[in-house]
Structure 1
Amino acid sequence: MSGYKQAVSVLVVIYTPALDILLLERAAHPSFWQSVTGSREDDEQLIDTARREVGEETGIDTRLYRLDDWRLTNNFEIFAEWRHRYAPGVTHNLEHLFALQVPHCIEITPAPDEHRDWTWMPWRAAAERCFSWTNRDAILMLPERLHRRP
């Protein structure tokens, strides 16, 4: 591998049946709140990327809960301050959406090098707090997605 991050990532919205959403505050950017995110490594399957990132960032074992691949993507411009992580000329990222249902607002173990704080919030408030439009939109889609889920 080249040492650069892949411009393919996952966003995993972690939620309860009551639609409380887990948000994490980025360590390097206080007040930047988000769901679990992360780039695919090597040739790993996207579901495996989602499982790995949830485990690394929260300590949650996704095998214990329902992890859904929404089969939706967002293509967005990578913030200029983070482009050095990607190969020269790479300016956009393709993000794949997932959702993980847990039974209630569980305790997590955040990765201290990535996140400085975490909280559970009702879905509308969580959407408003997210700094990323893709994260906000995913949270706002959650009630409808659950209504249509088999």
Structure 2
Amino acid sequence: MQRYKLPVSVLVVIYTADLQVLLLERADHPGYWQSVTGSQDPGETLLQTAVREVREETGLNTDDYVLSDWQIQNRYEIFEEWNWRYPPGTTHNTEHVFGLELPKTIPAVVSSREHLGYVWLPWREAAEKVFSSSNACAIRMLASKRKSENSR
């Protein structure tokens, strides 16, 4: 029996205080770079999904850093090539955006099943490199989030 993905996912932008952003290169699409992403499992909260996906995709323990729910949702059409992963008739996914702030860049341990490698880039370069427009938008928000935090 095939187990379908839920059409609910998280996007976790991992970044440093000086706005370096961690990107992962997809194994199933060389040249496609992204932040941590993943579908919610049945019975999981969105926070649990974010914690699990960060651990699975980077080896990082979110308990050691600041993980925050940015309270942003993006609804997008599922790429046709990945539609088979979802229940028949499912065309859209709702993505929930989180951020994970680290004090500095650190090595990631990527899952070779999912990713070919990783890179830390300044936020502007990272926003240009990712293939997903919602990922690029979330990365661009880092600068404005930092400005609003510094003005308090």
TM-score by length of structure 1 reads: 0.97
Aligned-pair Cα RMSD in Å: 1.3
Alpha-carbon displacement from aligned partner over 1:79-124 (angstroms, at most 9, x marks no partner): 0000000000001000000000011110110010000010000000
| Structure 1 residue 43 displacement after superposition | 1.7
Q: Larger deviation: 140-149 or 77-86?
A: 140-149
Shift of 1:2: 6.5
Q: How does 1:21-36 map to 2 (within 5 A)?
A: 21-36=21-36
Percentage of identical aligned residues: 53
The AA in structure 2 aligned to 1:72 is I
List alignment gaps of at least 5 residues for structure 1: none
Total equivalences in the alignment: 150
Q: CA deviation at 1:137?
A: 0.4
Q: Deviations over 1:46-100 (max 9, x none)?
A: 0110000000000000000000100110000000000000000001000000000
Q: If the length of structure 2 is used for normalisation, what is the TM-score? A: 0.95
Residue of structure 2 equivalent to 1:118: 118
| Structure 2 stretches lacking a partner, 5+ long | none
> Which amino acid in structure 2 is aligned with residue 54 of structure 1?
V
| C-alpha distance in 1 between matches for 2:145 and 2:9 | 21
1:91 aligns with 2:91: yes
Report what 1:8 is aligned to: 8
Give the whole-Å Cα distance in 2 for the aligned partners of 1:136 and 1:16.
16
Alignment of 1:54-73 (within 5 A): 54-73=54-73
